[in-house]
């Protein structure tokens, strides 16, 4: 790599947060971070946060104060803070996604324009942005005929692939588009056009898993444009201890209880069992009303609980399970692995990259209730294998650390810079 590449400037941009703090820290550690742009970033000196600290409740104030990171303070640039706060508020005052989707669109366009102009002025080379948030930035860069390259970070599958998966689920099961109402508005044609711009106009892509990679290449992205950077976590592997298996094997699911998460397939797979040596615990907000449809005493709806309580359930369960239709990288399954719970999941779940059938869990085809039921039966018919699988599954957490993520990001940036140098060399050679 040339000295010119070593001196490149990179901005990390996310109007909200997601894992962008971690990405920015990794870019800083690699020596390339110029600025980190966001909308809501807590600062005790700012009047707006002083006022919010007075009017918000204790838990809300606590969450607000977590929107900061000492490592990044010198690099942070905030814009559209009021818009950002309104976006957060829109998600709390109504269950409908229409308002928050509109707010996200406005925020993306407003901040994108402002960032693009600043980045051009300061001769920035690359901007790492996040899918569904970056179309405003890309449009403004193109309008200004800028040579700044966008590296798009996809935390989940590409939008068109998500819609395709949902359509396939409707065909294969007794659901309809209304069952996926929490997604309908976000994937309307007017938004899909913007997501397509993000895909087509980005130069490179960061992906957490192979299923996200596949969703990108299915729509024209080249393999060489994608850098695989699995996320880390702060979970620590719990020392393995053999759990008593009395009469029933306890399966636990953690996450939103929605059709998108495949909860209908999960419940149907268990209901089809003609035996009673199992118990399924569903932990999370029941956004699609599955509890009303349930008549099985072996399926327990825990509801939404605080994280401290979740760990109590994990410590007593035997198997973690998910039938999600799509999930770029499930942190709940990763936490389950830290408690040495073998994992049953679909191939459309990012964590499936680390699951080996019969060794630390099982992978099944998405939408396929029979396949899911067969795997559940396999576990129930050979309970002695649960401990054997438990011993190995905790190693996943030891592999996926933020330290390793930082290394992956540094390698990804270096790979991109080398590819760009090669393109420039080839261009000169052709001339």
Q: What is the pLDDT of residues 96-147, one digit of tens each?
A: 788 889 999 999 999 999 999 999 999 999 999 999 999 999 999 999 999 9
Q: What is the pLDDT of residue 3?
A: 58
In eight-state DSSP terms, residue 111 is H
Q: What are phi and psi of 288, to 5 degrees?
A: -115, 20
Q: Is 360 exposed, middle or buried (0-12, 13-18, 19+ CB in 10 A)?
A: buried
Query: Is the Cβ–Cβ distance between 396 and 334 less than 8 Å?
Result: yes
Write out the CATH class of domain 3-232+402-430. alpha beta
Q: What are phi and psi of 211, to 5 degrees?
A: -70, -35
- Establish how many alpha carbons lie within 13 A of residue 134's alpha carbon, considering only the half-sphere containing its beta carbon: 28
Kindly report the CATH number that applies to the domain delimited by 249-399: 3.40.50.2000
Question: Tens of pLDDT along 365-388?
Answer: 999 999 999 999 999 999 999 999
Strands 76-78 and 126-130: unpaired
Q: Where in the chain is the domain with CATH 3.40.50.2000?
A: 3-232+402-430, 249-399
Does pLDDT of 178 surpass 80? Answer: no
Q: What is the pLDDT of residue 49?
A: 79
Nearest residue to 63 via CA among 53, 51, 50: 53
Any idea what the Cα angle at residue 318 is, between residues 312 and 323, rounded to 5°? 100
Q: What is the pLDDT of residue 142?
A: 97
CA distance 313 to 299: 14
CA distance 119 to 122: 5
Nearest residue to 159 via CA among 129, 138, 135, 131: 131
């Amino acid at each position: 790599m040339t000295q010119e590449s070593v001196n490149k400037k990179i901005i990390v941009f996310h109007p909200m947060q997601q894992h962008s703090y971690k990405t920015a820290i990794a870019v800083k550690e690699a020596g390339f971070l110029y600025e980190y742009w966001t909308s809501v970033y807590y600062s005790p000196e700012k009047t707006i946060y002083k006022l919010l600290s007075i009017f918000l409740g204790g838990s809300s104030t606590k969450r607000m104060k977590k929107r900061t990171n000492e490592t990044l303070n010198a690099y942070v640039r905030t814009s559209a803070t009021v818009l950002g706060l309104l976006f957060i508020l829109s998600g709390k005052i109504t269950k409908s996604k229409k308002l928050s989707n509109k707010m996200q669109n406005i925020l993306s366009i407003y901040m994108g324009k402002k960032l693009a102009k600043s980045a051009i002025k300061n001769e920035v080379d690359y901007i790492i942005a996040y899918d569904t948030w970056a179309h405003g930035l890309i449009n403004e860069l193109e309008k200004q005929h800028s040579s700044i390259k966008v590296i798009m970070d996809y935390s989940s599958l590409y939008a068109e692939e998500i819609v395709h998966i949902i359509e396939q689920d409707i065909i294969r099961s007794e659901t309809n588009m209304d069952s996926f109402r929490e997604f309908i508005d976000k994937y309307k044609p007017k938004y899909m056009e913007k997501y397509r711009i993000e895909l087509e106009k980005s130069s490179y892509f960061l992906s957490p898993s192979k299923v996200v990679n596949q969703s990108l290449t299915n729509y024209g992205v080249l393999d060489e444009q994608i850098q695989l950077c699995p996320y880390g976590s702060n979970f620590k592997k719990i020392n393995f201890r053999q759990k008593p298996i009395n009469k029933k094997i306890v399966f636990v699911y953690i996450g939103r209880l929605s059709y998108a998460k495949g909860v209908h397939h999960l419940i149907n797979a268990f209901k089809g069992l003609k035996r009673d040596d199992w118990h399924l615990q569903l932990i999370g907000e029941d956004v699609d009303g599955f509890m009303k449809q349930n008549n099985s005493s072996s399926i327990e709806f825990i509801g939404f609980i605080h994280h401290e309580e979740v760990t109590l359930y994990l410590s007593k369960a035997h198997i973690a399970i998910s039938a999600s239709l799509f999930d770029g990288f499930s942190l709940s399954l990763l936490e389950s692995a830290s408690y040495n719970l073998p994992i049953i999941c679909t191939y459309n779940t990012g964590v499936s990259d680390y699951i080996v059938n019969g060794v630390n869990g099982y992978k099944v085809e998405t939408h396929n209730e029979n396949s899911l039921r067969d795997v559940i039966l396999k576990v129930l018919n050979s309970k002695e294998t649960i401990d054997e699988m438990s011993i190995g599954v905790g190693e996943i957490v030891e592999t996926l650390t933020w330290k390793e993520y930082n290394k992956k990001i540094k390698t990804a940036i270096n790979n991109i810079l080398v590819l760009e140098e090669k393109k420039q060399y080839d261009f000169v050679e052709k001339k």
